[in-house]
Amino acid sequence: MDFSEISRRGLVMLGCGKMGSAMLAGWLERGLAPAAVHVIDPHPSDWLRAQNVTINARLPTDPAVLMIAVKPQMMAAALPQVAGFGGGATLILSIAAGTPIAAYEAAFGPGTPVIRSMPNTPAAVGKGITAIIGNAGARPADLDMAEGLLSAIGQVVRLSDEGQIDAVTGVSGSGPAYIFYMIDALAAAAEAEGLPKDLAMQLAKATVAGAGILAEEAAETPEQLRINVTSPKGTTEAGLKVLMDEASGLMPLMRATVAAATHRSRELKG
């Protein structure tokens, strides 16, 4: 990414927790000068203090980007601190969950370019996927800048409608928790078949991680990869008969799981 505009005008981070820190680490590794970064955070971490960025001090008057990364319950108190950046010169980029674009438009005023994003926790290791959607004031260049910044923590996809954010939340936002639980379930099943606890967990973690990388990098579809490993009348086929049961298998269970999370995301908007 070309950081020239940000280096010239600055980038302000409202909040810098785990997700913000993961992003900042990626930017610094890619060449963003620490002097261009200004952080507002009441409880900066030791890691953040060691990065030579400006913390809780004078802000630039016309930053290129204001990134909002505070928790939803802190939003009402935090936004007034940066409301002066509204009006169009500064791109407002939110990685905060639950706050709609309309709330930012109300806080920053008309003509403000706003981009809302939904990252997920694998961002902490640079393997996240983030969905973005901009308001009417967000120009193609703003979306490109947001995508460039967010690519520091993984893949970026663009949505066509803000309403899709709820489904994204149900799939990739909440999805890591589903996979973590699947690892626990796989390990528990291995224990039940007689494997030691530590070995069962090692096998489960490595199997899920390896399959995920293979699914992402292989030319074949996940369906074809499954077929490739399934020998007729073999062990995998025996297991899949349980997992692929139309009534009680994984497919209807995942549909219900994602639907429940998506519905709750819509509810939380009030």
The pLDDT assigned to 171 comes to 97
Question: How do the domains of the chain map onto residue ranges?
Answer: 4-164, 175-268
Question: What does residue 251 show for φ and ψ, rounded to 5 degrees?
Answer: -60, -55
If pLDDT is split at 50, 70 and 90, which confidence band does 72 have?
A: confident
In a 3-state reduction of DSSP, which class is residue 91?
strand
Q: Where are the alpha helices (DSSP H) in the chain?
A: 4-9, 18-29, 46-49, 75-78, 101-108, 140-150, 164-168, 175-192, 197-217, 222-229, 235-243, 250-268
Enter the tokens of residue 269.
Answer: 């908007």
Residue % of the chain over a pLDDT of 90: 92
pLDDT for residue 74 is more than 90: no
What is the C-alpha to C-alpha distance for residues 232 and 234, in angstroms, rounded to an integer? 5
The pLDDT assigned to 97 comes to 86
Look over the chain and give the mean of its residue pLDDT values, rounded to a whole number.
95
The pLDDT assigned to 240 comes to 97
Residue % of the chain over a pLDDT of 70: 100
Please check whether residue 28 is in contact with residue 43, taking contact to mean a CB–CB distance below 8 angstroms. Answer: no
What amino acid is encoded at 81 in this protein? Answer: Q
Domain spanning 175-268 has what CATH number? Answer: 1.10.3730.10
Q: Are strands 114-118 and 54-55 parallel, antiparallel or unpaired?
A: unpaired
pLDDT by residue (tens digit) across 139-149?
999 999 999 99
Residue 261: closest CA among 185, 186, 177: 177
What amino acid is encoded at 169 in this protein? Answer: T
Burial of residue 93 (CB within 10 Å: 0-12, 13-18, 19+) is buried
What is the C-alpha to C-alpha distance for residues 186 and 201, in angstroms, rounded to an integer? 8
Enter the tokens of residue 114.
Answer: 């706003």
The pLDDT assigned to 1 comes to 86
pLDDT for residue 102 is more than 90: yes
Question: What does residue 192 show for φ and ψ, rounded to 5 degrees?
Answer: -65, -25
The pLDDT assigned to 157 comes to 98
What is the C-alpha to C-alpha distance for residues 28 and 230, in angstroms, rounded to an integer? 45
Quote the DSSP letter at residue 133: E
Assign a CATH topology to domain 4-164: Rossmann fold (3.40.50)
If pLDDT is split at 50, 70 and 90, which confidence band does 270 have?
A: low
Enter the tokens of residue 150.
Answer: 């967010």
pLDDT by residue (tens digit) across 183-224?
999 999 999 999 999 999 999 999 999 999 999 999 999 999
Quote the Cα angle for 184-187-192, to 5°: 125
Please check whether residue 43 is in contact with residue 15, taking contact to mean a CB–CB distance below 8 angstroms. Answer: no
Please tell me if the domain spanning 4-164 has the same topology as the one spanning 175-268: no
pLDDT for residue 269 is more than 80: no
pTM of this prediction? 0.91
Q: What is the mean pLDDT of residues 249-257?
A: 97
Quote the Cα angle for 232-233-237, to 5°: 80
Enter the tokens of residue 19.
Answer: 């997700």
Q: What is the mean pLDDT of residues 149-173?
A: 96
pLDDT for residue 26 is more than 80: yes
More confident residue, 238 or 2: 238
Question: What does residue 137 show for φ and ψ, rounded to 5 degrees?
Answer: -85, -10
What is the C-alpha to C-alpha distance for residues 171 and 103, in angstroms, rounded to an integer? 24
Q: What is the mean pLDDT of residues 161-183?
A: 96
Please check whether residue 87 is in contact with residue 109, taking contact to mean a CB–CB distance below 8 angstroms. Answer: yes
